[in-house]
Amino acid sequence: MKLAIIGVGLIGGSLGLCLKDKLGDKIFITGLCRTENSMQRAMELGAVDLATSDIKKVVNDADIIFLSPPVLQIVPMVKKILPFIKSGAIITDAGSTKQFIWQELKKILPPDIFYIAGHPMTGREKSGVEAADKNLFKGKAYVIVEDTGAPLEAHEKLMNALRLTEANFLTIDIAKHDRCASIISHVPHLTAAALVTLLNDAGDDLDSCLKLVGGGFKDTTRIASSNADMWADICMTNGEAISTHLRDLQKILGNVIVAIENHDRQAVHDYFAKSKERRDKILESLTFDPN
């Protein structure tokens, strides 16, 4: 098998490490990296067999092309590599939003090049190939969107490789994916960043607040350390769902503000109790590792 990874960072690098660990010489992995240093590190760490900035060398003769750059770079990248992709090749991705990508790709992909949308629901606050881990996908949810017109044989070929990650795969339609990703991933990232901004805007209290920072604040805001380019692109490509859910969150917080101002202890108590009950049930029902 020949696999091309476009963007050998945390996600792409972790996939490369996993598949090399499982398949060894039965797979040859090429990687597209932006800098000479990242190329060298990707090969030293064993995430790819060959890293280069030459697009043709990366994708030429690849059976599967795995795209893992920021979302807004995916479609322009496909346009660049398209002239060098062989017939029957499968393009998949790790983009956190799916509708925007598919709406653009279906305009340009020839009938003998297949796109299968994917989204591994995993990550870390750190980026780059040095943060990659061969077990990053293990036990995590991995969404495969099946309504992009690829034939069954292409799906099975891709899944034969991806199953080696030991992720928990699920299928979902493309519109529902973006709405759900907004609630469970995109809005939480924006909220974490808002909490850090709130701290940063503390004015004369900032120094004292920093001295009091403990585990609660660190845990709640951990994901605010994520890559800014990636999250700006996500907001630009899933704006309708994100803005809707942010307004819903704003309404929820508004109700809490009113309850606190009215000294309505029962309403505030119910707010915390219901959220605790729901979260506890969620954690009990999860079939994958949420950490």
Q: Over the stretch 81-90, which tens digit does the pLDDT of each residue have? A: 999 999 999 9
| pTM reported for the whole predicted model | 0.84
CA separation for the pair 149, 79 (Å, rounded): 19
| Residue scoring higher pLDDT (283 or 239) | 239
Q: What is the enclosing helix (H) or strand (E) of 31? A: strand 28-32
How far is residue 56's CA from residue 28's CA, in Å, rounded to a whole number? 15
The confidence score (pLDDT) of residue 62 equals: 97
Please check the confidence at residue 291 and state whether its pLDDT lies above 60. Answer: no
Q: How confident is the model at residue 24 (pLDDT cuts 50, 70, 90)?
A: very high
Q: DSSP readout, 90-143?
A: EEEE--S--HHHHHHHHHH--TTSEEEEEEE----S--SGGG--TTTTTTSEEE
Mean pLDDT lowest among 1-15, 115-129, 147-161? 115-129
Q: Residue 287 has what pLDDT? A: 52
Determine the straight-line distance between the first and last CA of the chain, rounded to whole angstroms.
Answer: 31
For 127-171, write each residue's pLDDT tens digit.
788 889 999 999 999 999 878 889 999 999 999 999 999 999 999
pLDDT of residue 125: 67
Q: Domains in the chain and their CATH numbers?
A: 2-172 (3.40.50.720), 177-285 (1.10.3660.10)
Beta carbons within 8 Å of 49's beta carbon, 6+ residues apart:
20, 28, 29, 30, 43
Distance from C-alpha of 166 to C-alpha of 21, rounded to nearest angstrom: 13
Are the CB atoms for 74 and 229 separated by under 8 Å? no
